[in-house]
Amino acid sequence: EDQVTQSPEALRLQEGESSSLNCSYTVSGLRGLFWYRQDPGKGPEFLFTLYSAGEEKEKERLKATLTKKESFLHITAPKPEDSATYLCAVQALGTSGTYKYIFGTGTRLKVLA
């Protein structure tokens, strides 16, 4: 069964304390893996798309990496404004030429000043 699992569910960091969020997936025919940031009561904000194992992308204090089984979102020297829920999603081939788009349940990050 296709599955996307994010860990940890929640993470508390001190300002400046670097860490990584994990997104592991079991799907066939991966077309892309996506990271989003979501603030409470708001719509998700797109961060990255990764297409193939070995690919890396960076944006400010965030760096996303992809392997054949999982993706990591590394947060370097986080600030309180990085506090949010980080969502991972995968797009995979479905049946009869369709595709599936599956989200993980997210990691709630809290960065303390």
Q: Of 16 and 101, which CB lies nearer to other proteins in the complex structure?
A: 101
Residues near 83 by Cβ (< 8 Å), separated by ≥ 6? 109, 110, 111
Residue 34 near residue 4, CB atoms below 8 Å? no
Among 22, 76, 103, 108, binds other proteins (CB under 8 A): 103
Contact between 45 and other proteins (CB under 8 A)? yes
Q: Of 78 and 104, which CB lies nearer to other proteins in the complex structure?
A: 104
Contact between 3 and other proteins (CB under 8 A)? no
Q: Any idea which residue has 């960091």 for tokens?
A: 13
SS3 103: strand
Contact between 101 and other proteins (CB under 8 A)? yes
